[in-house]
Structure 1
Amino acid sequence: MHVPLDTKTVSFASRLAVHGDRTAVITADGQLSYLALARQVAMAARRLGGQRRLVLLACTNSLDSLVIYLAALACGHPLLLVPAEHADSLIDAYEPDVIARGAGQLEIRRTISAHDLHPDLALLLSTSGSTGSPKLVRLSHENLQANAESIAEYLDIRASDRAPTTLPMHYCYGLSVVNSHLLRGAGLILTDRSVTDAGFWELFRTGRGTSLAGVPYTFDLLDRVGFADMSLPDLRYLTQAGGRLAPERVARYAAMGRRHGWEFFVMYGQTEATARMAYLPPDLAEAHPQAIGVPIPGGTFRLDPLPDRPGGDTGELVYAGPNVMLGYADGPADLALGRTVDELRTGDIARRATSGLYEIVGRSGRFIKIFGLRIDPRRVEDLLAQDGIAALCTGDDRELVVATTAAEARVRRLVARHCGLPARVVRVHRIAELPMLANGKPDYQSVGKLGSARPAPAPIDLCRLYAEILDHPGVTPEDSFVRLGGNSLSYVEMSIRLEQALGTLPADWHTRPIRELTRDLSGPAPRPDSRWRTLDTTVALRAIAIVLIVGSHIPVFMIKGGAHLLLAVAGYNFARFTLTSAARRLRTRHLGGGIARIAVPSMVWIALAVLVTADYAPANIVLLSSIVGERPGSADWHFWFIEAIVYIMLATLALLSAPGVDRAERSFPFAMPMLLMAAGLVTRYDLPNLAAHGKVPSALVVFWLFAIGWAAAKATTTPQRLLVTAAALATVPGFFGEPWREALIAAGLVLLIWVPTVPSLTSINRVAGVLASSSLYIYITHWQVFPRVDDVSRHLALVASLAVGIAFAAISARVERQLAAAGRRLARRWSTARQGRSPGGTGHALVTADAAVPPVASRSTE
C-alpha cells in the first residue's frame, strides 16, 4: 500500500505480509493467512484514501472491523475506536471524516479532513467507564508499537500461538491481545462468543488456542462452565486484568495452572497507558496473590508521598514509559495537540513490598470500579443534573450509591443506562434533602452510610422464567432468548410474560442477555393493577390471522388473506430468530429444528386423518401433494400452507448451508432478502409460464411474501422500510383479483414493517398469546373439527376449532419437552462415558451450553 513519506504508521499493521503464509485469523468459517489479511488491509487502505483523515470505527469482534483498524494504522489515519452502541454520540462530538460500520460499510463524509490532526496521533480510545463522556485518550503510533512489543516480550508470545478475542477490540485490554499477537505473527481466533458458549470451546480447540484473556467476571464464567476440568492440550497461559481479582482466586488459578501445565499472568493497566503497566510473574502468583507485580519491560514506577501519609513505602503510583498516552482529548480541537503528559498518575495508592512487588492498597480519587468499569461518581451527578435531578453519588467496588430527591425508579434507570451497569448494583435512596456539611460541601460520608441502610429489592428471577418457558436447564444471566433456541412459538409466551413482569420491552429483547433486561427498558415496570400493555405486532397478526382463516373456512364470515399474511410473518420471524450472529452451523441447526417443529406434528395429524377419513391421500402425509398433484375434487389442498412454509424453509436451509451465501447474508442482511424477493416475483407473476406445463407448487408462487417479511425484519433505516413498503404495495395488488383480500394483506405488511408493537390490554394479551402460539396447530386440526360441529352452530364450530388446536399445541409442547429431556439424559451419559475413557474430558457442563456473549465482560474497561 502507498503511504506518503511524511506519514507515521504502526509497524505491526503495515508489515503484516512479512509473516507470509502463517495463519493470521481463524473464524468459524475458516482461516486467513497473513498474506491474505495484508491484501484485504491494502484494499481497505485504498478505500480510506491517501489524505490523512479522522476515521471512526463502530467496532465489533469481526474480520471487517479488524481490517479497517489495521488499514487505518497502516496508512496513517487517526482512528477513533468505539463500541457500536456509543457511535452516534461520539460522531456528534467529534465529527469524523470517515465512518466505518459493520460489514465493511464506509461513509466518506469528507475527502479532506475538517480537523487539524497531530502527526503523532494514531488512536483515540474512550476513557474508562461508560457514562457517555466525550473524553478520549490520545495514543501515538509509538504507544501502540511499544506496548505491543512489551506485552509480547513478557508473555513470550510466539508465532505458533493462537489467542481468542474473548474481549472486545474497542477495549484496550482486548485490543492489546490483537496488537501483541499480530506483532509476533501469531494467530487470532476471531469470535464474539462467550466462554459460556459450547461453540466458543469448539472453535478454541479446533483453532488450537494457546491463551485466554479475561476480566474478573470472565473468571466467574469459567468457574461456572467447569474450566478446571477441561482438557485444553494447547493452552499455555491465562491473563487477567480489568479490575482486581480476589487474592484467593489468584492463588487458586495459579495453582490450577501449575497442575495442568499452563501459566497465570495477573496484569495491571489503564487505557491511558495503552493497555499494560505491570504484570505479576506466574511463579510468584501463589505466594503473592495480592500483588500487581513489576513494571512491564520499558516502564518504571515511583511512589509519590501522600499528604496524610508522609514518608514510608506507600504513595500514589506514578508510571512512566513509552506507552504513556499523548494526553486527553475533550473535543475535536484537542486532536491537534502533541504530547501534554510525560507520565501517568494512576490515582491508585500503592506500596512496594519487601519482595520488590507492587501492591494496590487504595485509591486517591473518587473513582470506583464495578464489573471492571471505572465510574466517576461526580460525572454521574453531572449527568443527572442535566436531567434536572439533584443527586450525590458514592460507592465501592460492589455498588454505586445515589442519594436523590427524585423518584428512585427513574434515577436507577438513568444511572444504569449512563454507566452501563446492571440496575441491581445501583442503590438509589430518595430523601427529603441532600446531606451537606457545615461548610456547605456535600456530605458523602452520610451518603455512603445509606448503602447499608436497607437491602435492594429482590430482582425478578428471569433465569427461572426462561428455563420454564424454553425448557432449558442451567440458564444463566448471560443467556439470551435466541441463544437458548427460542423460536416464534416460544417467543409469544416469553414476550407476554416479560412484558407483564418488566413493562415495555425493547424491540431487540430476544437478542439481549437476560441480565440486560433489568436495565435500559423504555419504561418503568408496570404497577400490579395496571391493565394497559403493549403487544408485539407479529403476535397480534398471528392471532388475528388464524381466527380469520378458521372463521372464513367454516364460514362464520368471509375475510380472506390470513394465511398469506402469516407467510410474511413467518419470514419476519425467520430473520429474527434464525439469522442471528451465531456460527453458520448453529444457524442451520436452529433452522432445521424449526422445520421439524412444523413438519412433524403436521405429518402426525395428517396420518391420523388418513386413517380415520377418506379426505386425504398418502402424499398429504409426507407433504407432497403440491408436488405430485392434487386429486380432482379432493381435500388435498387443505395443507397447502404447511407444505409451502416447509418447502420455503428447506430452500433457505440449503442456501444458508453454503459458506458463501452465509457470508453474503451477514455482509448484506437487507440486500439479501430484497434480492430473493425479486427472484420470487418471477414465479409470483409466472414469467416463465410454468402453469402451462402443469401445476406450480404453491411455495414458488408465494415465496415473495416470505421474502418481504424477511426484508421487513432486516430493514433498520427509514429508506429501507420505505423500499420494502413500496415493494409490498406494488406486488400484492392483483395477486387474487379480490381488492379487499389484498388490502388486508397489504395493511398487515405495513404494520409489520413500521409498527413493532400495538397498544393492548392485559386480558387481550393473554388471549392473543394463546392463539398466536397455537396458530400452527389450529391450522392443522381445524379441517377435521369444524365439519363435525358447524351443523349445530358455526360459532360453536369456530370455538371448538380453536380449542382443539390449542389442546394439540399443549400436547405437542409436552412431547417435545419430554423428547428434549431424554436427549439431554443421553448426552450426559455419553459425556460421562467419554470422560471415563479420557480423564481430562470437558465435562457435562458444556453439553447444553448455548449462551450469548457476556456483555459485562464485553464492556469491561480498565
Structure 2
Amino acid sequence: MSHPHPDVPFATDLADHADRTALVTSGGALSYRELAARVAATARRLGTRRRLILLAGANTVDTVVLYLAALAAGHPVLLAPHDRPDAVRSLIDAYDPDVVGFPDGVLDERRDVSAHALHPDLALLLSTSGTTGSPKLVRLSHENLRANAASIAGYLGIHADDRAATTLPMHYCYGLSVINSHLLRGAALILTDLSVTDARFWELFREARGTTFAGVPYTFDLLDRVGFADMRLPHLRYVTQAGGRLAPDRVRRYAELGRRRGWDLVVMYGQTEATARMAYLPPELAASRPGTIGVPIPGGSFRLEPVPDRPGAGVGELVYSGPNVMLGYAESPSDLALGRTVGELRTGDLARLTPDGLYEVVGRRGRFVKLYGLRIDPRAVEESLARNGLTAYCAGDDEALVVAVTGGADAGRVRRLVADGCGLPGRAVRVHAVAEPPRLPSGKPDYRAIACLGRPEAVSGTDLVRLYAEMLDRSDVTEECSFVSLGGDSLSYVEMSLRLEETLGSLPADWHTRPIRDLRPVRDLRGPAERSRWRTLETGIALRAAAIVLIVGSHISLFTIRGGAHVLLAVAGFNFARFHLTAAGRRERRHHVLTALARIAVPSVAWIAAAGLLTADYHLGDALLLDSALGRNSNYWFVEVIVYILLAMAVWLSVPGLDRAERRAPYGFALGILALGVAARFDFLGLLDLPSALAAFWMFPLGWAAAKATNPGQRLLVTAIALATVPGYFGPGELTREILIIGGVALLVWVPALPSTAWLNRLAGLLAGASLYIYLAHWQIYPLLADRSQPLALLASLAGGAAYAAVATRALRYATPRQSLGPSPARPAELTPAPGTR
C-alpha cells in the first residue's frame, strides 16, 4: 500500500546540504549531494509499496544508505546486529521480514508485497538494549525519530561543521542517534567500525578533523588504557556519555580533563523506549554534579511516581513524557499493525529531584542490569540456561553479571552460554558453582547475596584507583600511587581506611604507604554471619572518636573525664609521622604539611570569625588563633597549638640538613624533638615559663615517636617516657586524666587495631573524621541545649560538628585546584624515600 511522505528530514532532505561533506571513511568522503543521490536510487529500488526491511546494521556507507532510503520511502526498518548471525536469524524467524539487507549493500528481496499489516506511523524497530535477538522489540514512529534527533541536535549545539565518529554500532539506539542528529544538521559522520583502542581510529579521527564521539562506560575504560588524556585532538569539541551509569568520580575526572583541554563532557540518560535520550547534564555541571542525570531534554518532562514498596523522601519511579516516547512494544508480527499503546514511559528507575532542579537516579525498581550499554534481564538469562538443562540464579550490578549455578555444572560452559546469549564479553560474567543458592527466610533466592558472591576476590586495581580518586578528589591516580604520595592526611585517612577495609576485608598496618597495586583482598574464612558482624578498627581512629566525645561531654558536664585533648595531640603527632614524613622529597613533605595546616586553619578561622560576628562571646581577634601564644586562655587552645606545631614543622622541613637527619634516623630524630618538648614541659632551666597550652607540645612528639618505634625496645622506651612525663603535669587530683592519657599513648604504641563491629566502625569513622569540626562547633551549640538536656546537647554538638565537616570539606575541595594538591605520583629517581623511611 502507498503511504504519505514521512517526516524524517535527516533522511528526506539530504540534498539541502549540497556539497558539504556527509560521510568520511578511511577510503574517502561522500558529499551530501552524492549521499542524497545514492539514497534516492536505493529508495526507488525498494519501491513505494511498504515492506518490512530487516537491516544488519554496521557502520558502513552501504548500510547507512539503505537505512536512510528505507526511512525516506516509508518502509519500516528492523535493525539487527551485523556481527551476531544468531540474533539476525532469530529475528528473521520471529518476524519474517519482506527484505533483508546486508552491510555490503546486498538485498535479499523475499517478496514484492508485504506479508504483514504495517501501521502508517511505524518507522523503526529496535531490540530493547541487551535483549538483542529477542522477539520483543520497541516500535518507533517517524515523529519519534524526528523529534529526538532535533532535541539532541539542539541541546548539544550540533552545527554543520561538526564531524562525529561512529564509536558505537548503529543497531544500538545511542549509536543510531549520533547518525540521525548529525545528518539532521548537515554535519559529517566519520564512519568506522574501528575500536577506540585501535591506533587507526585516532589517525582517521585526526585526519577527518573529528569534533565529537560518543561512549558508554566501557568506552571510557578503553580510553584510560590507550592514554586518551595525553592525546592531541585539536578539533575535539565535546564527548558524550550514555548507555549506563558512569561513576561520578570518572565523570568529574573527564569533565576536568575536558576543561583543561578545551572540550566538554555531556552525560546523558536514555532508553531505547524513548528513541534514545530523555535527559542530559549540562556540561558546566558535570564536575560539580556528576552523580545526577541532569534535566529533561527539550520537549520532554519527568514526573516521580510514588513506589509503595520503596519509601523514601522524594523518591519515586521516574516517568517520562515527550514526543520521543515509543508507540509501544512488539512481540510478534501481528503487533506491527498497532498504533500508539503507551502515552508515557515508566523507566523502572528510582529517582529524586534535587534542590537545584536536577534529577538523580538512586536505584532500580526491577531486576534489570545494565552492562556495556546493554540492558540484561536476569530472569531471561535463568530461563535460557534452564533450556540448556542448567539450574541457575542470576543477579548483578553495573559492573558484572553474577550467575550462581547448581548441580556441578562447568563454570566455563555457563560463562560462554551467558556471554554469547547476552552479547557480553566473558569477563563481564562471573559464574559460581553452589550447592544451594543463598535464600531469604521466605525460601526465595536472595538475589542481593547472589550479586555479592565472590565480590572481595573480584576487587581489581582499577576499582581501587577509582576509590582513591573519589576519596582524595584526584584525577591523576594510578596503581603506582599510594595514599601518602597522593597527599592523603589524617582528615581523609579515616574514611579512606574504613572504605578500604569494607572493600578488601582487612588492611596491613602500612597500607597508606603501599602502592595501590600491592593492596589485595584478604580471604576471610569466617562464616557469613560472623564476617558481617565483626571488624577491626584502627587504634588512632578509635582514640580520635572517643577523645572528642569525652571532650564535649566533659565541657557540658554530662560527665567529667578529662584528657581527651592531650590524647588528640599525641594522635596528631602519630599521624604527622605516618602521613607527612613518609612523602618522598623535602618539598613534597613540606607541601603536605602546609596543605594539612590549611585544612585545619581555614575552617577554624571561618568558624571563629562567624562566632565573633554572631555572638558576644568572641571577638574577631580570636580568629587570628593567637590567644595561646599570648598567654591568654582560649576555648580553642587545642586548634591553636596544632596550627603552631604544623607551622614549626614546615619551618624545619625547609632546612635541608634537618630533613636529611630525620631521614637517616627517623626514631632518633623523633626522640630528639621529644626531648625538647619534655624540657619545655618541665622547664628545667626555669627560663621558659610557657603558657600551659604551649607546654603541652610534648604530647605531639610523643605520638611521633610512637609511630617511628619499630621494635619492642623502642616501644618500651616511648611507653616509659609517657609514664615519666604525664604524672604531675596537671597538678594533684588528676589521676584519672593521667591514666587516660598514658593509656591512649600505650594503645598507639602497642595495639595497631581494636576489635569492632561494622556499625561501630561507621560511627567511629564519622566522629573521628569530624573531630576537628566538632571541637570548633560544640562551644556554640551545647550552651543552647545543656540546661534542658545534657545528653541532647552532646548529640547536637556531635551532629552539628559533623554537618560543618561535610560543608567545610566540600568547600575546601571545590576551592582547591586539583593540580595544586601535590606533585605527580611519577617521581624522579632522586626523590625516592631514603633508607629507614617508613
Distance 1:451 1:328, change over 3 A: farther
Residues 311 and 450 of structure 1: CA distance in aligned 2, closer, same or farther (over 3 Å): closer
Structure 2 partner of 1:69: 67
Query: Retained in 1: the 8 A contact 2:53–2:78?
Result: yes
Q: Which has the larger radius of gyration?
A: 2
Q: What's the CA shift for 1:251?
A: 1.1
- The amino acid of 1:418's aligned partner reads G
- Assess if the C-alpha contact under 8 Å between 2:129 and 2:373 holds in 1: no
* Alpha carbons 1:9, 1:76 under 8 Å: kept: no
Q: CA deviation at 1:59?
A: 1.1
Aligned pairs (5 A) from 1:18-97: 18-84=16-82, 85=84, 86-97=87-98
Match of 1:117, SS state, is coil
CA–CA distance in structure 2, aligned partners of residues 257 and 196 of structure 1: 19
Distance in 1 (alpha carbons) for counterparts of 2:25 and 2:161: 17
Distance 2:17 2:132 in 1: 40
AA matched with 2:49? Q
What is residue 133 of structure 1 aligned with on the other side? 134
Rate the CA distance shift 1:454–1:30 in 2: closer, same or farther, 3 A.
closer
Output the CA distance in 1 between the equivalents of 2:283 and 2:156: 10
Amino acid at match of 2:152: I
Cα offset, 1:448, TM superposition: 3.6
Change (3 A) 1:309 1:439: closer
TM-score normalised to structure 1 length: 0.51
Matched with 1:330 is: 331
Query: 1:405 Cα deviation (Å)?
Result: 2.1
Q: Relative contact order: is structure 1 or structure 2 higher (C-alpha 8 Å, sep ≥ 6)?
A: 1
What is the one-letter code of the residue matched to 2:145?
L
Show CA shifts across 1:369-408 (max 9, x none): 2223211110101111112222211122222222222413
1:356 aligns with 2:357: yes
Shift of 1:435: 5.3
Q: Distance in 1 between matches of 2:189 and 2:456?
A: 48
Residue 421 of structure 2, aligned match among 418, 421, 431:
418
Correspondence 1:15 to 2:3:
no
Counterparts of 1:764-783 in structure 2 under 5 Å?
none
Offset of residue 209 of structure 1: 1.0
- In structure 2, relative to structure 1, the CA distance for the partners of 1:355 and 1:105 (3 Å cut) is same
1:384 matched to which residue of 2?
385
Whether 1:428 aligns to 2:431 is yes
Q: Is the 8 A contact 1:9 1:75 kept in 2?
A: no
Conserved in 2, the CA contact under 8 Å of 1:131 and 1:379?
no
Q: Distance in 2 between matches of 1:343 and 1:14?
A: 28
8 Å contact from structure 2 (residues 269, 280) kept in 1: yes
Using structure 2 for the length normalisation, give the TM-score.
Answer: 0.53
Measured after TM superposition, the shift of residue 449 of structure 1 is: 4.8
Superposed CA offset, 1:266-319 (max 9, x none): 111111100110111111111111111000000001111121444732111111
Cα distance in 1 for partners of 2:460, 2:166 equals 36
Q: Once the two structures are superposed, what CA deviation does each residue of 1:684-721 show, in whole Å capped at 9, x if it has no partner?
A: xxxxxxxxxxxxxxxxxxxxxxxxxxxxxxxxxxxxxx
In the alignment, the residues of structure 2 paired with residue 25 and residue 302 of structure 1 have an alpha-carbon distance, to the nearest angstrom, of 39
1:235 maps to a residue whose letter is L
- 1:224 Cα deviation from its structure 2 partner: 2.1
Matches within 5 A, 1:558-597: none
Match of 1:274 in 2: 275
CA distance in 2, matches of 1:360, 1:455: 25
- Are residues 78 and 401 of structure 1, via their aligned partners in 2, closer, same or farther at CA, if it must alter by over 3 Å? same
- Give, in angstroms, the shift of residue 126 of structure 1: 0.7
**The residue matched to 1:38 in structure 2 has which SS?**
helix
1:207 match? 208
Return closer, same or farther for 1:457/1:254 CA change in 2, 3 Å cut-off: closer
Q: In the alignment, which residue of structure 2 is the partner of 1:230? A: 231
Evaluate the alpha carbon distance shift between residue 281 and residue 347 of structure 1 in structure 2; reply closer, same or farther with a 3 A threshold: same
Cα pair distance change 1:30/1:409, threshold 3 Å: closer
Q: 1:148 is matched by which residue type in structure 2?
A: A
Cα distance between partner residues in 2 of 1:371 and 1:449? 19
CA–CA distance in structure 2, aligned partners of residues 5 and 366 of structure 1: 41
Q: Which amino acid aligns with 1:335?
A: L
CA contact (8 A) 2:304 2:316 kept: yes
Partner of 1:818: none
Q: How does 1:300-339 map to 2 (within 5 A)?
A: 300-310=301-311, 312-339=313-340
Question: CA separation of 1:370/1:6 partners in 2, compared to 1, >3 Å: closer, same or farther?
Answer: closer
Q: CA deviation at 1:147?
A: 0.2
Q: Is the 8 A contact 1:131 1:380 kept in 2?
A: no
Tell me the distance in 1 between the aligned counterparts of 2:133 and 2:24: 33
Residue 121 of structure 1 corresponds to 122
Q: Could you tell me how far 1:255 is from its partner in structure 2?
A: 1.4
User: Structure 1 residues 438, 253: CA separation in 2 closer, same or farther (over 3 Å shift)?
Assistant: closer
* Residues 188-222 of structure 1 deviation map (CA, whole Å, 9 limit, x = unaligned): 11111112222212211221111121111111222
- Between the aligned partners of 2:206 and 2:366, the Cα distance in structure 1 is 43
CA distance in 1, matches of 2:366, 2:343: 20
- Give the aligned residue type for 1:74: A
User: Secondary structure of the equivalent of 1:272?
Assistant: helix
The residue type paired with residue 105 of structure 1 is: V
In 1, Cα distance between equivalents of 2:347 and 2:288: 25
Where does residue 617 of structure 2 map in the other structure?
Answer: none
**Partner Cα distance (2:70, 2:210) in 1:** 28
Hey, what's the Cα distance between the residues in 2 that align with 1:339 and 1:34?
A: 34
Could you tell me whether the CA contact under 8 Å between 1:125 and 1:138 is conserved in 2?
Answer: yes
Partner SS for 2:90: helix
* SS in structure 2 of the partner of residue 102 of structure 1: coil
The answer to whether the 8 Å contact 1:427/1:456 transfers is: no
> Secondary structure at 2:33's aligned position in 1?
helix
1:264 aligns with 2:260: no
**Structure 2 counterparts to residues 433-832 of structure 1, below 5 A:** 433-434=436-437, 437=440, 439=442, 441-452=444-455
| CA displacement at 1:171 relative to structure 2 | 0.7
Number of residue equivalences: 456
- How far 1:245 moved relative to its partner? 1.1
| Alignment deviations for residues 647-673 of structure 1 (CA, whole Å, 9 cap, x no partner) | xxxxxxxxxxxxxxxxxxxxxxxxxxx
SS in 1 for 2:205: helix
Q: Distance between the aligned counterparts of 1:131 and 1:380, measured in 2?
A: 13
Deviation at 1:164, TM superposition (A): 0.9
The answer for the alignment partner of 2:592 in structure 1 is none
Change (3 A) 1:237 1:53: same
Alpha-carbon spacing, 1:455–1:251, altered in 2? closer, same or farther (3 Å): closer
Q: Which amino acid aligns with 1:8?
A: P
Match of 2:748 in 1: none
Deviation at 1:442, TM superposition (A): 3.3
Residues 453, 355 of structure 1: alpha-carbon distance in 2 compared, 3 angstrom cutoff = closer
1:136–1:328 contact (8 Å) kept in structure 2: yes
Question: Any gaps of 5 or more consecutive residues in structure 2?
Answer: 462-838
Worse-superposed segment, 40-49 or 438-447: 438-447
Cα distance in 1 for partners of 2:303, 2:3 equals 38
For 1:338, give the aligned amino acid.
G
1:50 Cα shift? 1.7
CA distance in 1: counterparts of 2:146 and 2:7, whole angstroms: 10
* Distance in structure 1 (CA, Å) of the matches to 2:349 and 2:32: 40
Contact 1:169 1:175 in 2 (8 A): yes
Any stretches of 5+ residues in structure 1 without a counterpart? 459-862
